[in-house]
Structure 1
Amino acid sequence: MSQPLLELQNLACERDERVLFSGLNLAVNAGDILQVEGPNGSGKTTLLRTLTGISPDYSGEILWQGQPLSRVKVEYCNQLLYVGHLPGIKKALSPRENLGWYAGMNNGHQRATVEQALEEVGLFGYEDTPCYHLSAGQMRRVALARLFFTPARLWILDEPFTAIDVQGVENLQKLMLEHAAGGGAVILTTHQPMSIEGVRRVNLLDCREVADV
């Protein structure tokens, strides 16, 4: 069996000095689409932020391709794309300018041009419109357009379908499948039903009994 891309060993996460869950053991392999489940307050966002390195309040081990994250942090960050609750978009800039900045961090390695990515998310004609003129859903689309040209193998997406219409959800799910089929992996949270077959699911409530002891 091939080595997992990402592995969690006995992971426990805290928020406001309260343990949300503990004893989480998980292997994420190339080709996986993993949905993190649980009610509000169970630690879904905290887990995703921990995996991105934003939240340091955890115990246990996180491994990237068999190596502790502390040893391969630069490599891991180069292979990671995170889209959180906030779009991470500069409102004073246009969609083209925002994505051009992100594309620059990829050192020229990308699967599509900025213009192609914007067209894929339905923003054709809005390329040079300042983002403060866009709706919340359109700004969300600008953030998600990064998925169309990033070379990152691991996508971590927190509620990616928020403010996206039915066709946008369908397109995004198709993109996730293509990414997984190409050897990537996706970890996401969502309150919306997905039509993707073969999605792996982990419910953080299964780790609550350990955390509450």
Structure 2
Amino acid sequence: MQAVATKLKGRRGDSVLFEDIGFTVGRGEALIITGPNGSGKSTLLRILAGLLAADSGEFLLHGDDGTALPISEFAHYLGHRNAMKRELKVSENLDFWKRFQRSENGEGVSSDEAIEAVGLTGVAHLPFGYLSAGQQRRIALARLLVCKRPLWLLDEPTAALDRRSDQMFADLVRKHLASGGLAIAATHQPLGLENVKTLELSGIHSAASASGETWT
């Protein structure tokens, strides 16, 4: 499986943020997108997720046989917001996402297993809004586990996490990659991952392609 971006161009309003963006991410690989505020990191992630249209270029996910796969069915997108209802219990939120994003083969762990995986055993019965900001972000990460999808698109995934939770996140991503998954993350901070590709957006009209540099 490969995720391939070719000559992507994106804008905010009338301003072009980036152009000629290209990269390839294969099974077991991660790409880290960096750059200053306003350089277009979130815009690029939303284009990859199919939430925004690119001005030009394309982003495709190919199966092992070369067949194009629908991003909406094979990717998880985690944005700045956690996409959880504050009034619903933690378990109810995760159960909703498991049903909504279910795969045909039923892969994915239970809500309780996902909550345990992010180190929050015992909070399933609590309304999501009762949790601290860091706990809410960890439950948002648990959403990636209840329905297995090969491509993770992550926008500032460690926002609000403490150092211990940062390590938990890195372990989740390593396990995902080890199972043949792919990850593309936009961030200002090192994510504790080794041997990743990097893509730096330098600002207005930035043009870049992914490198094989390591970020430790």
TM norm structure 2: 0.87
Shift of 1:119: 1.4
Q: Tell me the residue number matched to 2:34.
A: 37
SS across alignment from 1:172: helix
Shift of 1:208: 3.3
Q: Tell me the residue number matched to 1:97.
A: 92
Q: Tell me the residue number matched to 1:169.
A: 166
Deviations 1:136-164 (A, max 9, x none): 21211111101223210000000111111
Distance 2:169 2:97 in 1: 19
Shift of 1:207: 8.2
Q: Kindly, what percent of the aligned residue pairs are identical? A: 37
Deviations 1:146-193 (A, max 9, x none): 122321000000011111121211111111111112111000012222
Distance 1:180 1:58 in 2: 30
Write the mapping of 1:51-200 to structure 2, written as runs, cut at 5 A.
Answer: 51-65=48-62, 75-105=70-100, 106-107=102-103, 109-200=106-197
TM norm structure 1: 0.88
Q: Cα RMSD (Å) of the superposition?
A: 2.1
Runs of 4+ aligned residues of structure 1 deviating over 3 Å after TM superposition are 206-211
SS across alignment from 1:193: coil
Distance 2:122 2:178 in 1: 31
Residue from 7, 12, 15 that aligns with 2:9: 12
Q: Tell me the residue number matched to 2:212.
A: none
Deviations 1:115-154 (A, max 9, x none): 0111121221211111121222121111110122321000
For structure 1, the 5+ residue unaligned runs are none
Distance 1:91 1:209 in 2: 38
- Cα 1:91–1:56 change in 2 (3 A) is same
Distance 2:192 2:138 in 1: 20
For structure 2, the 5+ residue unaligned runs are 209-216
Distance 1:198 1:210 in 2: 23
Distance 1:160 1:15 in 2: 22
- More helix by percentage: 1
Shift of 1:209: 5.2
